Amino acid sequence: MPGGKRVKIIVDGREVEVEQGTLLIKAAEEAGVYIPRLCYHEGLRPDGNCRMCLVEVEGLRKPVPACMTPVRDGMVVKTNTPALKEHRRKVLEFILTTHPMDCPICDQAGECVLQDYYFQYDLEDRRYFEDRERKPKKVHWGKNLIYDAERCILCRRCVRFLDHVTKTGELGVFERGIQSYIGLFDGKKIENNYSGNLVDLCPVGAITDLDFRFKMRVWFLDRTPSVCPLCARGCNIEIHTNTDPLTNRFSSQRVFRIKPRKNMDVNRWWICDEGRYSYKFIDQNRITRPLIKGKEASWDAVSRKLREIIGREVRVYLSAWMSNEELIYWKKLGELLQWKLSLLRRPDGDQDDLLRVADKNPNTTGARILGLEEGGGNEEVAVVFHFPSPGEHKMKIGIFTNAFEGMEDWDMVLPAATFAEKEGHWTNFQGRVQKFQQALEPLGESLEEGKIGEKFAEAFGIEFPWKREEMEKEFLKEMKKWSGR
């Protein structure tokens, strides 16, 4: 509600001014006070079932749940009194009476809210020694989700997500009391495009990801902020990698999972499953050495061979997967060498009204800003980025990240780094320029496209070094021109 009424409240002695109607738990966050929570998630409707977030409000006899209470002008709130702490201990103790303590085999361990609170509230020993309630474990919920009812703390975040965000409503709470569990409605499977978010939402390890299951302990992962390349929205993501030979000794996998990064203007808290599970191309089926006529060769051999195209007609098919910097670098290079330029894109696909857009390329907008258009010609030589090109050309030079069929017939195939192995910017469909950072070293002898461009420049005997920062500035100039049109 922009322009809504502002009210002042005091949380633990800190004064803060927020909009009227804000939930107390958020208002406190704005004041810099974190109120423990289990069931509240800012992307979901508050439910108030866990009672971790109870706070004391002056003038009220009983504590109130901060996640359900809107602020009132002049509220004085205390979040950390001994009574509240004792209360939270008890909430936790109740949960833990039935909790299986599977942490050694639970993928959530290390980023589990319950674990964190357990340590924070010092619940050393259990006092409840009755047999634990046995519930279904390892239930497949379809696609990549595995549900463990014993670990579930019944916060209903998953249910609310499916009800209110994806509006598919596959899940419900079944049974009552201590027997209750989350279950699929008859005949349903969770097959929507956002199911992966349930794993992130679940505060404990009740919903885990089949794809990530047992692959790596989360505390060994390095987290690099990046941007999802799989559609033009450019959801903000985190790439979780581990390249330490001591903790990741037996597998060649480097990227272990993709997690969403909160960005209220682009993807809010979510990402779609396509973005979440398509990371495998970063490690698998990669081209790691240059190929000349299907045979492995060195970059030196490539440089020698590139001299053959001097003076011939060249068309360069740039791709909408290249970063702004790379596009403008190649555009300038093409202008210097009088090449023809055109654009290749992944064909459009599905879209929905949550995140996914039809354009399945991360940087179509960037390419448009630079005036690149699809199309082709019949020039002698083609330099093709990322997608096997449609045109008829005598000599074909491809710059690809992953192996594909018919690769041997190409005159030259050069290995390119994936987005996780370089740094750059993409312009998403809203025209936001978003930065993705380097999470990994390029695999094998692959190079980022800018560096490959440098090789071309060298082979043609011109001085045009690849300087990413300069190209970034150049692009922003172009962008200004474009938006001011």
Partner 1 sequence: MRLFWEAVKGLRVTARHLLRNLWKFSLYYVGLSKDKGVVTLEYPEERRETFPRVRLRHRLLRREDGRLRCVACFLCATACPARCIYIEAEEDPDHPLEKKPRQFVIDLGKCAYCGFCVEACPEDALRMDLHIPELAEYNRDDLLYDIEKLTKP
Binding site for partner 1 (CB under 8 A): 103-105, 109, 137-138, 213-215, 217, 219-220, 246-247, 249-251
Minimum Å gap between C-beta 37 and ligand FES is: 4
Of 66 and 114, which has the nearer Cβ to ligand SF4?
Answer: 114
Q: Which of 26, 37, 160, 286 binds ligand FES (CB under 6 A)?
A: 37
Alpha helix ranges (H) inside 176-323: 197-201, 273-277, 299-306
Inter-residue contact 395 to 381 (CB < 8 Å): yes
What minimum distance in Å lies between the beta carbon of 73 and ligand FES?
A: 22
Helices (H) and strands (E) counted in the chain, each on its own, are 11, 22
Please identify, using beta-carbon distances, which residue of 53 and 201 lies nearer to ligand FES.
Answer: 53
* Structural tokens at position 325: 């910097």
Q: How far is the CB of 59 from ligand SF4 (least distance, A)?
A: 33
**162: Cβ contacts below 8 Å, ≥ 6 apart:** 168, 169, 170, 171, 190, 192, 198
**Residues within window 168-187 making contact with ligand SF4, judged by CB under 6 A:** 182
Contacts 24+ apart (CB under 8 A), 123-129: 123/89, 123/92, 123/93, 123/96, 126/93, 126/96, 126/97, 127/93, 128/93, 128/97
Q: 256 — phi, psi (to 5°)? A: -110, -30
207 in contact with ligand SF4 (CB under 6 A): yes
Contacts of 292 (CB under 8 A, 6+ apart): 301, 302, 305, 411, 412
* Strand 76-78 to 6-11 pairing: parallel
Told to check if 87 binds ligand FES by CB under 6 A, we report no
In whole angstroms, what is the distance from residue 77 CA to residue 469 CA?
48
Shortest Å, Cβ 436 to ligand FES: 33
Check binding of 412 to ligand FES (CB under 6 A): no
CA 350 to centroid of chain Cα atoms: 19
Beta 412-415 vs 381-385: how paired, if at all?
Answer: unpaired
In whole angstroms, the minimum distance from the beta carbon of 3 to ligand FES comes to 28
Q: Which tokens in the block code for residue 278?
A: 């398509």
Q: Tell me which of ligand FES, partner 1, ligand SF4, none is bound by residue 137, counting a contact when its beta carbon lies within the kind-specific cut-off of 5 to 8 angstroms.
A: partner 1
- The residue whose two tokens read 């109740």 is 94
d(CA 383, CA 339): 10
338 CB neighbour count, 10 Å cutoff: 8
Among 51, 78, 143, 188, binds ligand FES (CB under 6 A): 51
Residues near 60 by beta carbon (within 8 Å), at least 6 away in sequence = none
Min CB(138)–partner 1 separation in Å = 6
Tell which positions 440-459 bind ligand SF4, by CB under 6 A: none
**Which residue from 151, 233, 356, 393 is in contact with ligand SF4, where contact means CB under 6 A?**
151
User: Using the rule CB under 6 A, which residue among 38, 207, 399, 413 binds ligand FES?
Assistant: 38
- Measuring CA to CA, which residue among 39, 304, 273 is closest to residue 143? 273
For partner 1, give the closer residue by CB, 110 or 375.
110
Within 13 Å and on the Cβ side, how many CA atoms surround 336?
A: 18
Interacting residue with ligand SF4 among 7, 16, 114, 322 (CB under 6 A): 114
Q: Which does 356 bind (CB under 5 to 8 A by kind): partner 1, ligand FES, ligand SF4, none?
A: none
**Residue 109 near ligand SF4 by CB under 6 A:** yes
Q: In the complex with ligand SF4, which residue's Cβ is closer, 98 or 427? A: 98
Site pattern 318..357 for ligand FES (x: CB under 6 A): ----------------------------------------
Q: Which of 10, 42, 48, 109 binds ligand FES (CB under 6 A)?
A: 48
- Given ligand FES, ligand SF4, partner 1, none, residue 207, with its beta carbon under 5 to 8 Å by kind, binds ligand SF4
Binding site for ligand SF4 (CB under 6 A): 99, 101-104, 106, 108-109, 112, 114-115, 151-158, 182, 201-202, 204-207
Binding site for ligand FES (CB under 6 A): 37-40, 48-53, 65, 67
